[in-house]
């Protein structure tokens, strides 16, 4: 009985070796079925872009809470920058209109 198990183990190792070298045929083409984290490719990112982005999860990935906290912070900074830009632009328009 021991010989039978030994022969089966050697045969199994041989099958694994053949498969590992690719002689058993090509593997099927893989398809990425994860959703993309979609943000616009051109132009500046807005705070809404940062709020909408979602990353796919993985076994060994980032902590979602840390990524969400960073995205919230970046979105708040973008909001402040956009408000500052709008205030600055409004000030320039007032100066041009007064002169």
pLDDT bracket for residue 99 (50, 70, 90) = very low
Residue 73 resides in a domain: yes
Into how many domains does the chain fold? 1
Range of the domain at 50: 43-99
Tens digit of pLDDT for each residue in 6-43? 999 999 999 888 877 777 666 667 666 655 566 666 77
Residue 93 resides in a domain: yes
Q: Which of 15-24, 47-56, 84-93 has the lowest mean pLDDT?
A: 84-93
Residue 74 resides in a domain: yes
- Across the chain, mean pLDDT equals 76
CB distance 72 to 53 below 8 Å: no
Residue 21 resides in a domain: no
d(CA 41, CA 72): 20
Residue-level pLDDT at 11: 95
Identify which has the larger pLDDT, 8 or 49: 8
Residue 20 resides in a domain: no
């Amino acid at each position: 009985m021991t010989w039978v198990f030994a022969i089966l183990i050697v045969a199994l190792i041989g099958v694994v070796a053949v498969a590992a070298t690719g002689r058993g045929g090509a593997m099927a083409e893989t398809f990425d079925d994860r959703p993309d984290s979609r943000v616009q490719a051109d132009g500046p990112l807005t705070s809404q872009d940062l709020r909408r982005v979602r990353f796919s999860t993985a076994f060994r990935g980032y902590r979602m809470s840390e990524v969400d906290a960073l995205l919230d912070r970046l979105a708040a900074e973008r909001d402040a920058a956009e408000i500052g830009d709008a205030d600055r632009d409004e000030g320039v328009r007032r100066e041009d209109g007064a002169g």
